[in-house]
Amino acid sequence: METDVIKISFIQSCIENSYDFTFENISNFILRLVHVNYYPTRSVHDNKVDGLYYNSLNKRTFFSMYAPKKHDWKKKDKTKVDNDVEGIKEFLIRHELELKKWYFVINRELSGDEIEYIKTKFDDPNKVDIITPSKFIELIVKKDVVTETARFLNLINYNVPLTDLQPHAFLKHVLHSLVEMKTWGKEEILKRLEHITDAIVDLTYVDNEEKIRESKNFMFRHMIRAYTRIPKKKRKSFAYYDGVFIELSHLQEAEFAKTKDKHYILTPYDLWFLYRIVKRLRTLVIQNNQYSIEVVLNEMYLPIQTRLERIIVKRNG
């Protein structure tokens, strides 16, 4: 079943993986959808102004876009911010205008220090905001333009290969897919689960003849961990609650935990954890003719629970 959740995960991945003029085109399209009075400027010789929003006769909102193939905050990104701010200040003076707001639009999430630096480039921090890929998702969901954006990105049929997704986007998409699969038939479920595990293996960039598919193999496990590592700034925590995975607003440190009210929280550091879930689901379907995420999570948490109980017993003497 096709859902906006699937579209959103693909859209965010497309934004994160785009750069230069492609990123600018995507950004301009979304901004035109959500802001009626938004006007993009030409791609070159734009006087450091990539987009304008007409608030009133003498007030303007400015948009500066930045998406290189490779980011370097100290050597390149900070300089880009400084140059854009100077260009906007000159524009305001030249046209005798007032600044309503300035948006710095970028194709990655930022650290606290980076956000602080950008927010203080004008005297009033409230006049500065940042649009990252996750912020774009908030905008298109709030304005209910998910389908229009997906169509623009040629995602309307969701034919984007899993291996084209970055590990964090891959994880989010597959977790939601696993929930949807509860209503599928057995053969369809098995085919999809095998497709997911194959995609994870493909992400290890190992030659087909050398692929080791046995999950107990030490090297295989470490290859997946190494090649599908999720950077901490892109890591997310998901709670399995009432039959669905819910993305949490705060990041949990433990990769796998259980709350007092018996809800599971997942914070995968890579795709190995997901690989284990999918393999266990497939075994459960084949051996017991049952598809249950909760059963699999219970099985996976049991060794952790046993270990914790032993520690408690040891501490209590």
Does residue 157 fall inside a structural domain? no
Q: Are residues 245 and 138 in the same domain?
A: no
Q: What's this model's pTM, rounded to 2 decimal places?
A: 0.52
User: Which residue, 152, 172, 207, sits at the end of a domain?
Assistant: 152
Dump pLDDT digits (tens) for 107-141.
999 999 999 999 999 989 999 999 999 999 989 88
What are residue 100's phi and psi, to 5 degrees?
-85, -50
**51-54 and 264-266 as β-strands: parallel, antiparallel, unpaired?**
unpaired
Q: Are residues 146 and 179 in the same domain?
A: no
Residue 76 sits in a domain of what CATH number? 3.40.91
User: Which residue, 152, 186, 209, sits at the end of a domain?
Assistant: 152
How far apart, in Å, are the Cα atoms of 124 and each of 93, 174, 207, 230?
Answer: 17, 42, 54, 35
Whole-number pLDDT of residue 18: 93
Whole-number pLDDT of residue 3: 43
Q: Kindly give the parts of the chain with pLDDT less than 50.
A: 1-4, 158-159, 208-209, 212, 214-216
Q: Which amino acid is at 159?
A: N
User: Which residue, 93, 126, 152, sits at the end of a domain?
Assistant: 152
Q: Are residues 277 and 188 in the same domain?
A: yes
Tally of domains in the chain: 2
Q: Is 251 exposed, middle or buried (0-12, 13-18, 19+ CB in 10 A)?
A: exposed
Q: Are residues 87 and 178 in the same domain?
A: no
Whole-number pLDDT of residue 206: 54
Tokens of 100: 């309503």
Whole-number pLDDT of residue 216: 47
Q: Are residues 111 and 178 in the same domain?
A: no
Whole-number pLDDT of residue 222: 84
Whole-number pLDDT of residue 113: 92
Q: Are residues 79 and 197 in the same domain?
A: no
The domain of 106 spans 4-152
Whole-number pLDDT of residue 286: 97
Whole-number pLDDT of residue 272: 94
Whole-number pLDDT of residue 144: 79
Planar angle of CA 163, 165, 171, nearest 5 degrees: 100
Whole-number pLDDT of residue 153: 85
